[in-house]
Each structure stands twice: as C-alpha cells, then as structure tokens.
C-alpha cells in the first residue's frame, strides 16, 4: 500500500460518493507528480465499474491505468509553450456532449490549467462548466488556484494536496520510535511504542509511515542512496529478507486493524511478531 495513494483516497473518498460525483474538481498542490497521480486516481475512480472503486481489476480500471480508456480525454497541448488552445477547448466542448463509450462517466483531465490556460481560454471553458452535460467529470489540476478565474473556481470542487507526504509530526515520531524499537536489542522500547497505538485510526496512520520507512530501508539495502537516517539504520541492522517480512507483517497488521479486533491484543501480537522477525536467529 502506497502512502500517497492512501492520502489521495482519504482526500477524495471522504467527500465523493459514486452516486453523487461533482461535475468538476480542481486538484491543487505544490508537487506536479502528486497532482498528476491524484488526477489519474480520480479518473480511474470515475470510470470503474465495480462497487469498490477503483478496483484496479475491471476492464475500465485496466484500460485507464494503461492510458487507453476511450472515455478519458486529455486535450492536446499546442505551441512551444504547451498551452491549451481555444480550438482544443471548442473540440472538448463538442466531445463532452457525446455520451460515454464504455464507462458510465466521461472524464476530461486538464493538467496544470494555471500554466496552460490563458484567461481567454478559461473563459471559453467556463461555458461547459456552467451547463455540464450529464455523466461528465472534468478534472483540473493546478499548482495554485490564484491564476484562475474566480468564475471557474466557483464551479469546481477544490481539493488541496499537501506536500508529498503530509504526515503530522506526532505520527512520524511514533513511527520512528517503533522502527527504533524493532532495531533495539532492548525489547521494552518496542513494547512502549506499540502500546501508544491505542486507537484504530492512529494504528493505521502510524503503521503506514512505518511501512514507508521500511521500504526506504529496503531500497537502501539493495543499493539505493538512503534518503534518511532511519532508512540507513534499517539497512545496516537487518537483512533484506527480514525487512521484506517486516513490510508484509505491517500490511497484515493494518488489514487486521480494519476488522473489528481488540486493539490491545493486536498491539501485543504486533510487538511480538516484529521482535520475532527482527531478532530470531
């Protein structure tokens, strides 16, 4: 499970529901890659034909992830400066009035509209936002909404992405404490740390970060440059196969927490399993 994907899911799924999708959303955030990933995720969500969106397995999801879905459009950029021309917008407006081919929703993704859409083009685009056709979703991304027409902003649902990984300090500190506990010869430090995972929500949040650190440690142990001290420490103290087992265990624990298990028992079990994997000869 990818920490960023989890964040995106939380961001959208709290607000969206499959039967009440907005016609237009704007995803804004500082990181270009994150904006793109969030937009692509939402497009898969919109075309997926399963109840558990996006399932990643249905025909629509597979086509979308291969960039080959006939109901997901991105207007062509033109000129040296990669702008969306007024002609491209007119074309898009025409396309939007045609019903979807295979999915229930037709999706138009317009990346980085703050950079590639002039106010004149935004104005032309506004027409379709004022009277959006049935079963269409417009996904816009922007580094900042400040260069966009207020009339556009008033017609889109805005989602703001934080920095790449926006983990709060407390969560991050506890995740590090758990990693240090796993690496420490002293069993008590891990026990202290896992006891703090008392709520279901916190448990999942912290373990996603633990899993991310373990992954960085694994990358380091296969030769990547370490991105943080904790990754170096993991790679130094644990073998590759132990790190992989720890990652698997962490995912398993997150799944368990989603079921209605007793949290105190789950924490004790997790602590024991972490110790078993990291210290067993």
Footprint of Zn ion on this chain (CB under 5 A)? 48, 50, 55, 58, 61
Helix axes 169-183, 263-279, angle to 10 degrees: 50
User: CB-wise, 48 or 140, nearer to Zn ion?
Assistant: 48
User: CB-wise, 60 or 136, nearer to Zn ion?
Assistant: 60
Q: Give the nearest distance from C-beta 4 to Zn ion in angstroms.
A: 20
Q: Give the nearest distance from C-beta 220 to Zn ion in angstroms.
A: 34
Q: Give the nearest distance from C-beta 59 to Zn ion in angstroms.
A: 8
Find the Cα–Cα–Cα–Cα dihedral 31, 5, 193, 278, rounded to 10°: -110
Q: Give the nearest distance from C-beta 104 to Zn ion in angstroms.
A: 12
Exposure pattern of 51-78 as b/e (b: 16+ CB <10 Å)? Answer: eebbeeebebbebbeeeebebbbbbeee
Q: Give the nearest distance from C-beta 18 to Zn ion in angstroms.
A: 11
Question: 54 preceded by cis ω (within 30°)?
Answer: yes
User: CB-wise, 55 or 158, nearer to Zn ion?
Assistant: 55
User: CB-wise, 48 or 266, nearer to Zn ion?
Assistant: 48
Identify the DSSP state of 139: E
CB-based contact 100:135 (threshold 8 Å): yes
- Please compute, for residue 167, the number of CA atoms within 13 A of its CA located in the half-sphere on the CB side: 22
User: CB-wise, 58 or 140, nearer to Zn ion?
Assistant: 58
In the structure encoding, which two tokens stand for residue 270, read together? 């997790």
């Amino acid at each position: 499970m990818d920490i960023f994907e989890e964040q995106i899911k939380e961001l959208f799924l709290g607000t969206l529901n499959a039967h009440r999708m907005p016609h237009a959303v704007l995803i804004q955030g500082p990181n270009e890659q994150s904006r793109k990933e969030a937009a692509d995720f939402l497009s898969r969500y919109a075309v997926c034909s399963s109840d558990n969106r996006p399932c990643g397995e249905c025909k629509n999801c597979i086509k979308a992830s291969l960039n080959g879905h006939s109901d997901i459009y991105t207007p062509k950029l033109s000129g040296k400066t990669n702008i969306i021309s007024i002609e491209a917008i007119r074309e898009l407006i025409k396309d939007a009035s045609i019903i979807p081919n295979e999915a229930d929703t037709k999706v138009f993704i317009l990346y980085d509209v703050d950079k590639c859409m002039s106010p004149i083009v935004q104005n032309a685009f506004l027409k379709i936002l004022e009277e959006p056709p049935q079963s269409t979703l417009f996904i816009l991304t922007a580094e900042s909404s400040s260069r966009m027409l207020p009339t556009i902003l008033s017609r889109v649902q805005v989602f703001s992405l934080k920095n790449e990984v926006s983990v709060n300090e407390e969560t991050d500190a506890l995740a590090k404490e758990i990693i240090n506990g796993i690496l420490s010869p002293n069993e008590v430090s891990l026990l202290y740390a896992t006891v703090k995972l008392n709520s279901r929500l916190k448990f999942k949040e912290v373990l996603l970060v633990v899993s991310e650190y373990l992954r960085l440690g694994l990358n380091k142990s296969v030769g990547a440059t370490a991105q943080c001290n904790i990754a170096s420490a993991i790679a130094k103290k644990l073998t590759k196969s132990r790190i992989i087992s720890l990652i698997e265990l962490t995912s398993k624990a997150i799944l368990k927490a989603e079921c209605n298990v007793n949290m105190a028992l789950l924490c004790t079990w997790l602590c024991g399993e972490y110790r078993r994997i990291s210290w067993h000869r």
